[in-house]
Amino acid sequence: MRNAQPDPAPVGLSAVQRLLRAGEPHGGPAAPGASRGPEPPAPGARQFVVSAAHGGAGASTVTAMLDPDGAGAAVEAPPGMPAPGRCPVLVARASSYGLLRAGQVLTSWPVAGPRPYLVLVADAPVAMPGPARFRLRVLGGSTAGVAHVRYLFRLRWFDHPTAALEIPAVAAAAQRLRARLSG
C-alpha cells in the first residue's frame, strides 16, 4: 500500500513531474497559509471556456493545451453556459459523429452570446472522413473559427494531458492552438 504522504520531490523535477509524483493537485498538500486557488491569468490575456460537443471529445486535453500552467486561462463548462469575458470553445472529435454532435450543439447555441471557436481533435492519424468534411463546411459559418489538433499518439501515454505538454510535438501543437484561438 502506498504511503499517504507524498515523497519529497527530488531537485530538478519539473512541476508536472512533481505533480505526477505526488498524485495530488498542485503537487501535494499546500503549505500552511498558501493559496489553493489558481493564479489569475496575466492582464489582457485571452481566457477560454471549453465545452465538449460529446463524450470523449478531448475537452480536457484542449483545456490543458490552452492553460498549460493551470493559471485559470481555460476552464471547462457545459456547452452554451454563459461565461462573461471568456472566449467560448467547442471541442469535437474530427469524425462524422463528432461533427454531427457539434452541429447539434451549435444549432442550440445561445444567440445572444459570442459564437464559439470549434476545435476538432483528430482521433486517428488519417484525414477526416468525407461526411465529417462536408459537415465542417456547413458548420464553418456558425463559429468564430475552426482549429484542428492533429493526432498526437504520445497523449495516450499519460494519465493527464498536462504531463504530455513536456513532449515537444505536444507542446508545439498546444502553442499552435493557443495562437490560432488568440489571434
Contact 73, 45 (CB under 8 A): yes
- Quick one: pLDDT band at residue 45, thresholds 50, 70, 90? confident
Residue 97 burial (10 A CB sphere; 0-12, 13-18, 19+): middle
pLDDT category of residue 173 using cuts at 50, 70 and 90:
very high
CA angle 78–73–155, rounded 5-degree value: 75
At 157, list the grid cell.
501515454
All domains of the chain in start order, with CATH: 48-182 (3.40.50)
Q: Specify the 3-state DSSP secondary structure of 18.
A: helix
- pLDDT, position 115: 92
Residue-wise pLDDT for 96-107, tens only, equals 999 999 999 999
DSSP state of 158: -
- Rounded Cα distance, 17 and 92, in Å: 29
pTM, full prediction: 0.76
